Structure 1
């Protein structure tokens, strides 16, 4: 990372690809390890699950992980990198639906229609675990903890679709976006206060249903208020409590 901090260069984040686990340990960004460990399952107990997993990648910036209307046969857990999902309206305009970080799963919204309802595009070099969904469903029926975790992830996926619903100001939307992103980075083992924005200002604006110029103005205003420090795509949240207060209508809704 190139963003300078008064105390020096920001520390490098952990490399999830370098932490692929072994016969007894889960990978550092396994999307299912927390549920399995909490229920008393260790990796040796889940040998069948490992048979369902295929490591795929690298996908380079702009590569499609899957495309709209591709048949749904698997879900993808991000091991490294960042992904956006998107659709195009009837006039060919792109609409960004969400962003996915290491440890998060894409493809859950394809379960019912049995085909992917959107594109998934890599925003930087990305690697994935691809899980056969039919086989995983059969295994989840025998492992209640895994089944409940799938339901929780699906519920979270549906809930995130309404994150930006309602009439909210640009400051509220951008602040909520930054706090939500920070929380998600922290949940997957990265810094929750200093991180790299893999997505462009245009993608952020599209997702937040704002103009790119508006997002830039809000970021400048937050910086001038000393709530964030930003240089290029490197950002540090200096006052996450205040940012949460600004975006609380979206974060707590």
Structure 2
């Protein structure tokens, strides 16, 4: 089994939420300690997911949203002919399961890219609590808005940027997210494979490899295996902004 449930007492959950390292990135941002405890009361257990195991599958009914406490995930959809398309990568402080709200069933699959832990938030209870706590409802609305903005950014990425620019934008996105979590924006490890990156960006594997080589040649990044070091963040931003376009080979 890939999923390991770890039931713990409610009081321990409350303490966990109040002191959580990603509290300021989650639904509890800006809530008082008392309101955080009310939110924590609908999180009945933490769930651990082993690397490579699914958190949920497309078509399964909506039961909970999942706040990522630590770890890294990818979400995928599968076409009628069996091809897999990666729709996103999620890390600590982000919420999984929003795709299921409109139809009450998950539209995608969520798989762990490393050993991870999530806090399931029972959705019907979350809806009821949101009516009682305007600040929680506001946070939830902002969360949904961020998902829409992310979709728009992805459309821009796919429609207007060449391969080098798409990969540069991908690295910039990870850099920004690492910084918001208190980590270095210049050095981090890719949890996903190059094939996964290619699927997400709509590029072939060989195109991803060429983009990496060109950014190395420009002394913008240094990439060894999955270890990334951004040498010139301004140049990376300039590339995404189209300040220095390079033709794809």
TM-score band, normalised by the shorter chain? Answer: 0.7 to 0.9
**Where does residue 152 of structure 1 map in the other structure?**
142
**Could you state the TM-score of these two structures normalised by the residue count of structure 2?**
0.85
**Aligned pair 1:219/2:209, yes or no?**
no
Q: Deviations over 1:117-155 (max 9, x none)?
A: 000000111110110111111111111111111111111
Provide the C-alpha distance between the structure 1 equivalents of 2:190 and 2:66, rounded to a whole number of angstroms: 21
In the comparison of the two structures, how many residue pairs are matched?
225
Q: 1:158 to 1:223 in 2, by over 3 A?
A: same
Aligned with 2:82 (options 92, 116, 132): 92
Q: Deviations over 1:82-136 (max 9, x none)?
A: 1000011011000000000110111112111111000000011111011011111
Aligned with 2:233 (options 233, 240, 248): 240
**Aligned pair 1:190/2:180, yes or no?**
no
Within a 5 Å distance, the mapping from 1:1-253 to structure 2 comes to 22=15, 25-30=18-23, 31-36=26-31, 41-42=32-33, 44-165=34-155, 166-248=159-241
Q: 1:71 to 1:127 in 2, by over 3 A?
A: same
Provide the C-alpha distance between the structure 2 equivalents of 1:21 and 1:247, rounded to a whole number of angstroms: 42
Compute the displacement of 1:215 (Å). Answer: 0.7
Return 5+ residue gaps in structure 1 as ranges.
1-19
Q: Is the 8 A contact 1:86 1:97 kept in 2?
A: yes
Provide the C-alpha distance between the structure 1 equivalents of 2:75 and 2:44, rounded to a whole number of angstroms: 21
Return 5+ residue gaps in structure 2 as ranges.
1-12, 243-249
Equivalent position SS for 2:87: strand
Q: Is the 8 A contact 2:67 2:120 kept in 1?
A: yes
Equivalent position SS for 2:18: coil
**Could you state the TM-score of these two structures normalised by the residue count of structure 1?**
0.84
Provide the C-alpha distance between the structure 1 equivalents of 2:129 and 2:189, rounded to a whole number of angstroms: 36
**Where does residue 15 of structure 1 map in the other structure?**
none
Provide the C-alpha distance between the structure 1 equivalents of 2:57 and 2:197, rounded to a whole number of angstroms: 21
Q: 1:248 to 1:148 in 2, by over 3 A?
A: farther
Q: Which structure shows the bigger proportion of residues in helix conformation?
A: 2
**Where does residue 245 of structure 2 map in the other structure?**
none
Provide the C-alpha distance between the structure 1 equivalents of 2:22 and 2:241, rounded to a whole number of angstroms: 28
